[in-house]
Amino acid sequence: MPVGRRAVLGTGTAAVFIAGVAPGPDAAAGETRGEATVATVTVELHVNGASHRLTLDPRTTLLDALREHLALTGSKKGCDHGQCGACTVLLDGRRINACLTLAVLHDGQPVTTIEGLADGETLHPLQAAFIEHDGFQCGYCTSGQICSAAGMLEESRAGMPSFVTADLAEPQPPLTDDEIRERMSGNICRCAAYPNIVAAIRKAAEIRA
């Protein structure tokens, strides 16, 4: 009974297609345990500037595509339901929970993960600031915190308000520490490096400003 490699059944492009459980043409041998197959889809993911053509079970989340198919394990699975933020990546520059979306939904779209933030050996200012301010302990939420912070600083620069913004009509709300805290609340850190994370983000924001 072969149990080794994942069955790979490309079914053409991602434009319009139908996929489903066997019966597919290759599922004829479905009698044997482990050989029934789910028809796959082909997805082109652009991650950290590199293009990857993947043959995936359509149920594969963006997070699992990154972790299990591209070995980009920096994005973490803490809850798999968008409740912790450890999987935060940047999709087209905007922060999202990679666990709450399917890879197939993002065919052709650019994704940036923690592995893509540094410029070669030079750390991103947020990464350097997280080290300096000890913005983590166990490190498991860290990738998500940093990607989230990167997205958050862009949002702030673009004038995005938050729930704690006093005057919503103000086109460019100032990024106070309270604002950082509110905007970063989708990223749980159970080690509770929170004060240090805020200090790190503040430092990185000042470097960029």
By CB under 8 A, residue 9 contacts another protein: no
Q: Is 7 exposed, middle or buried (0-12, 13-18, 19+ CB in 10 A)?
A: middle
110 binds another protein per the rule CB under 8 A: no
Report which of 130, 103, 114, 120 is spatially closest to residue 44, judged by C-alpha positions. 103
Q: Which of 177, 206 has the CB closer to another protein? A: 177
- Which residue, 8 or 206, is less far from another protein as judged by CB? 8
Q: Does 172 bind another protein (CB under 8 A)?
A: no
Pick 51 or 109: Cβ nearer another protein: 109
| Site pattern 73..102 for another protein (x: CB under 8 A) | xxxxxxxxxxxxxx-x--x--xxxx--xxx
Q: Rounded to whole angstroms, how far apart are CA atoms 43 and 45? A: 6
Binders in 122-161 for another protein, by CB under 8 A: 123, 127-128, 130-132, 134, 136-143, 146, 148, 151-152, 155, 158-161
The sheet carrying 94-97 orders its strands as: 50-56, 41-47, 110-112, 88-91, 94-97
Contact 44, 51 (CB under 8 A): yes
Q: Which of 208, 209, 151, 207 is nearest to 180 (CA)?
A: 151
Total residues in contact with another protein, by rule CB under 8 A: 115
Question: What's the closest the beta carbon of residue 19 comes to another protein, in angstroms?
Answer: 5
Residue 151 CB, shortest distance to another protein, in Å, is 7
Residue placing its CB nearer to another protein in the complex, 4 or 49: 4
Sole binder of another protein in the list 45, 175, 184, 205 (CB under 8 A): 184
DSSP string covering 151-198: HHHHHHHTT---TT-S-TT-SS----HHHHHHHTTTS--TT--HHHHH
Of 33 and 53, nearer to another protein (C-beta) is: 33
| Comparison of 143 and 175: residue with beta carbon closer to another protein | 143
Distances (CA, A) of 165 to 170, 180, 188: 9, 11, 21
Residues 37-66 that bind another protein (CB under 8 A): 37-38, 41, 57-61, 64
